[in-house]
Structure 1
Amino acid sequence: MTFDMSPTCNYRSFLFVPTHKKSFWKKAYSRGSDTIILDLEDSVPVPEKVNARMQLVKALTHCKKHNKPTIVRINQSIRDAIHDLETAITNFTDAILVPKVRDSKHIETIDEIVTELEYERNIRAGNIKIIATLESAEGVLNSARIALSSPRMVALALGPEDLATDLGCAPTEYSLLGACQTIILGARAANLFAIGFPGSISEYQDKISYRKSIEKGRALGFSGAFCIHPDQIEIVNTVFSVTLSEIEWAKKVVSAQEDVADHHSGAFSLDGKMIDEPIIDRAKTILKSIEK
């Protein structure tokens, strides 16, 4: 089955799981996230990198056994990334999450390696997708090029902590707003998924503050968010779900549009608001998203 991450897909939450901790990935499928990210990067200490790679195939098999879309986050340096990909490219891998992407050449190199490994392992060409995480000023400014750097690309993601460090500030709504908008524009222009929110991903105890950040992310145009703790999952899933009021509004718009179409009318008024083609398209997108 193709890993579908079109802008209307139902993936909302992406849970990071340190691959060297067997007890974590064994129960990750039961945490309620839409996808699992088996991490080989930041959550894995350097002395545990080899152990994490050794456990990766078992972890991938286990996640797939429970029908969870599974992503592998590799390390940044090409030298480490090659070691990671040698293990990560399997029939159980849906996508590779590439961290700290600065330019399109980085993705092109990863694509080339993945292509070779797919061929060697009799995996259907192009089956494994790529998600790029933008975590620097350079990466954000190159987001449009990165989005178009490979046919495997399915999403752009914001890395708020590293980006804030690169900018010399804390990861707040105000410091990350411009980056969020740039990433969303780059993703949408290439018809990709956008993952993120303007705030700190490390915040999981203050649920009120965290929820506000996630709500702002959805309002900006993101379609999902990374989670580093199970307590974040329910909030992300709730905020990024289509509400009943949105569904009712969309049905009302489409129904009204069908009525006026019989009279060869273009724009029309509904509940005191002018409805034209872009608004109709938004309503249809909402209805399409709940069909999956």
Structure 2
Amino acid sequence: MKQVFAWRSMLFVPITNDRFIQSGLKQPADAIQLDLEDSVALDLKAEARARVAEVSKQCHEQGKDVIVRVNRPWRHLVRDIEASVGPHVHALTLPKVPDAGFVRSVAEIIEEVEIERGMTPGHTRLIVMVEDAEGLHNMNEIAAAHPRICAMIVGAEDLAVSLQMAVTPDSLYVPNVMAVAACRRAGIAPIGFVGSVADFADREAFQKTVERAAALGFEGAFCIHPSQVPAANAAFAPSAEAVDRARRLIKVFEEEKALGRWACTFEGRMVDAPVVKQAQRVVEKGEAFGL
């Protein structure tokens, strides 16, 4: 079975804001996402880069995986990569990815920096963001562009600007389902949900949004506010009850299979090989997240 994606919740933290960093470290997020892009003013970009090594080490020492969202323009991006690639940064998030060639060029630069710093090539993974019409057109190729890619997400706000549409469940449904299919084809994790990450005030609504995302096949989500983290963690990991039920289903199926029957019933429903594979995935995810 495919390895379980490790980050149910990836909490954005502006790297120039010490108060937000300390608050973020207190949250149960699976990963802290240090932001060099939208939350950092242009005149603070250099200061932000200078802090990556120190802050990523601090996050690592407190048991947090670290992701860094870099900038898109090449002049900023190259500097961001040089500032971010290091032993305590697990992945870079690439915004506004237009095509597979762009990803391969970025990966080449990352490998050069890793080798220069005595790191194992391949240490730094990539999360790619599809945020415009060109990226949407090239989504399948982007997802499979390079072995460093571990996940892909649709950036709702920027995509809405590019397509001149509203940010609604109707407008975002098709791009997100396309992303799930592209990721599964490429063997990477689809992350995100059908909606805007900016909608954090209504916690009950956000809970329903991420639960729907999990049902659609997504494996984790970006969070811009600490209140979103518990909802994402709960949605993208099975409950203890679901894990227990899956184990019992598998046990019944294996007992029937030993008698030569490759289909059976469990709690009034038919069980065959695809249903068992789904149950095995529930057990694997539950074990990965400590259930």
- Which residue of the other structure, out of 250, 272, 277, is the alignment partner of 1:276? 272
Alignment map for 1:136-155 (pairs within 5 Å)? 136-155=132-151
- Which residue of the other structure, out of 213, 217, 226, is the alignment partner of 1:217? 213
Matched, 1:263 2:247: no
CA distance in 2, matches of 1:277, 1:137: 39
Moved more, 196-205 or 259-268: 259-268
Matched, 1:240 2:236: yes
CA distance in 2, matches of 1:165, 1:7: 35
Aligned equivalent of 2:283: 287
Alignment map for 1:61-72 (pairs within 5 Å)? 61-72=57-68
Matched, 1:253 2:242: no
Displacement of 1:141 in angstroms is 2.8
Relative to the length of structure 1, the TM-score reads 0.94
Q: Secondary structure of the residue that 2:89 maps to in structure 1?
A: coil
Moved more, 173-182 or 23-32: 23-32
Instruction: Check whether the contact 1:26–1:62 (CA below 8 A) recurs between aligned residues.
Output: no
Relative to the length of structure 2, the TM-score reads 0.94
Instruction: Check whether the contact 1:7–1:223 (CA below 8 A) recurs between aligned residues.
Output: no
CA distance in 2, matches of 1:215, 1:222: 9
- Which residue of the other structure, out of 169, 173, 189, is the alignment partner of 2:169? 173
Aligned equivalent of 1:3: none
**1:36 counterpart letter in structure 2:** I
Instruction: Check whether the contact 2:237–2:285 (CA below 8 A) recurs between aligned residues.
Output: no
Aligned equivalent of 1:130: 126
Count of residues in correspondence between the two structures:
287
Q: Secondary structure of the residue that 1:234 maps to in structure 2?
A: helix
Q: Displaced runs of 4+ in structure 1, greater than 4 A?
A: none
**2:88 counterpart letter in structure 1:** F
Alignment map for 1:32-181 (pairs within 5 Å)? 32-181=28-177
CA distance in 1, matches of 2:164, 2:209: 20
- Structure 1 portions without partners, runs of 5+: 1-5
Instruction: Check whether the contact 1:107–1:150 (CA below 8 A) recurs between aligned residues.
Output: yes
Matched, 1:197 2:193: yes
Query: Could you give the per-residue CA deviations for residues 94-115 of structure 1, whole angstroms, max 9, x where no partner exists?
Result: 0111011111011101100001
Instruction: Check whether the contact 1:147–1:186 (CA below 8 A) recurs between aligned residues.
Output: yes
CA distance in 2, matches of 1:189, 1:7: 15
- Structure 2 portions without partners, runs of 5+: none
Aligned equivalent of 1:182: 178
Q: Secondary structure of the residue that 1:36 maps to in structure 2?
A: strand
Moved more, 54-63 or 263-272: 263-272
Displacement of 1:241 in angstroms is 2.3
Q: Secondary structure of the residue that 2:227 maps to in structure 1?
A: helix
Matched, 1:16 2:1: no
Instruction: Check whether the contact 1:156–1:187 (CA below 8 A) recurs between aligned residues.
Output: yes
Instruction: Check whether the contact 1:115–1:126 (CA below 8 A) recurs between aligned residues.
Output: yes
**1:210 counterpart letter in structure 2:** F
CA distance in 2, matches of 1:59, 1:244: 34
Query: Could you give the per-residue CA deviations for residues 133-158 of structure 1, whole angstroms, max 9, x where no partner exists?
Result: 11112212322211111111100112
> What's the Cα RMSD here?
1.4
Aligned equivalent of 2:225: 229
Percentage identity across aligned positions? 33
